[in-house]
């Protein structure tokens, strides 16, 4: 009778040792992915690209991060080739249900800009406008790629 009990004990001990050999590794959170982006937008003199974010209703407070980029470029044979010359990331901004957050992106030392919006809430509304920086006049509304 002692023999089956010894086998069960050895089996249990070896199972515990096998499980103890597994090391729990921390799982890194995935880098946030952009929720919306404008693509590269060429701007004229005194123009800025304004990105505005709001929830459009509801009761949730959202956290929004903006990334802005400025590009220089050249045209060769009808092909416009750009180079990213600067990029800036804002800190997270808390936006209440009755609020909106916006950022103006100016092509300082460049000719084109790009804006990205990071937000975990899929119901956020993002609009893009080209603004005359001198007068504040909306000169154009641009399409923003949402839900990337």
CA 37/CA 118 separation, integer angstroms: 9
pTM for the whole structure: 0.73
CA 8/CA 28 separation, integer angstroms: 39
> How many Cα neighbours within 13 Å face the side chain of 47?
17
pLDDT in tens, the chain (148 residues): 455 655 554 555 554 444 444 444 454 444 455 689 999 999 999 999 999 998 877 788 889 999 999 999 888 888 888 899 999 999 999 999 889 999 999 998 888 999 999 987 878 889 999 999 999 999 999 988 887 6
Tokens 């399409």: give the residue.
143
CA 90/CA 137 separation, integer angstroms: 25
- Tell me the CATH number for domain 36-146: 2.60.40
Domain boundaries, given as residue ranges, for the chain: 36-146
């Amino acid at each position: 009778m002692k023999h089956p009990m010894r086998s069960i004990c050895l089996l249990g001990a070896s199972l515990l040792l096998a499980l103890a050999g597994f090391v729990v590794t921390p799982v890194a959170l995935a880098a946030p992915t952009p929720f919306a982006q404008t693509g590269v937008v060429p701007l004229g003199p005194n123009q800025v690209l304004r990105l505005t974010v709001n929830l459009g209703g509801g009761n949730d407070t959202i956290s929004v991060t903006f990334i802005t980029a400025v590009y220089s470029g050249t045209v060769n044979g009808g092909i416009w080739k750009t180079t990213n010359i600067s990029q800036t990331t804002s800190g997270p901004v808390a936006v209440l249900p009755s609020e909106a957050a916006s950022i103006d992106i100016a092509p300082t030392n460049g000719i084109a800009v790009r804006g990205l919006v990071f937000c975990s809430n899929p119901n956020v509304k993002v609009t893009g406008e080209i603004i005359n920086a001198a007068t504040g006049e909306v000169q154009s509304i641009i399409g923003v790629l949402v839900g990337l």
